[in-house]
Amino acid sequence: MVDPWEGVVVMDYVEEYRRAELFMEAGDPHEAARILQPLLVAEPGNAAVRLQLALAYFASAQLRRAEGELRALVERDPTDHYAHHVLGRTLERLNRHAEALPHLRLASAMSPLDDYRQAVDRVAARVNVRGVPGGPPSAS
C-alpha cells in the first residue's frame, strides 16, 4: 500500500508564526516577512498573521506592502485601533501626512495611549505647517 502522505510537507503554522516572531525580535524583519507570506496565503483571514506581516514590512521599510496589509485589517475591523495607528504611522513615513492624520486621530480616540497622542500631535503639526487642506487657515 502506498502512503498518500509520503513526501508531503505539512506546515506547522503555529511554529512558523513563532519563528517569524523570533526573527522580528532579533531585528530581521525581512526574514520574518519571508516566513509569514506563505502563512497569509494559507490563512488569508488570519488577522494576527496579517498584522505581524504588516509590522515586518513596516520594520523593513516595505511601506507600500505594509500599507496594503494594514488597509485590509482596518477594512475588516474598523475598531482595530492598533491597525489604524500603524497605518497612520506607515502613511506618515510615506510623507502622506494628510492621509495619516485621520487614522492616527481615530486610533487615539479609541485608545488614548501616549504614543498615539504624540503621533497625532506630530503629524498634525506637519499638516498645519504645510498648509494642507483641512488644516487651520494660514495667516496672511
* Tens of each residue's pLDDT in the chain, 140 residues: 555 545 544 468 899 999 999 999 999 999 999 999 999 999 999 999 999 999 999 999 999 999 999 999 999 999 999 999 999 999 999 999 999 999 999 999 999 999 999 999 999 999 987 655 544 444 43
Total domain count, the chain: 2
Range of the domain at 120: 78-130
Task: Tell me if 19 is assigned to some domain.
Answer: yes
Residues 55 and 98 in one domain: no
pTM, two decimals, is 0.84
Residues 96 and 122 in one domain: yes
Task: Tell me if 138 is assigned to some domain.
Answer: no
Residue 139: exposed, middle, or buried by beta-carbon count in 10 A (0-12, 13-18, 19+)?
Answer: exposed
Q: Which helix (H) or strand (E) holds 67?
A: helix 63-76
Residue 55: exposed, middle, or buried by beta-carbon count in 10 A (0-12, 13-18, 19+)?
Answer: buried
Residues 48 and 92 in one domain: no
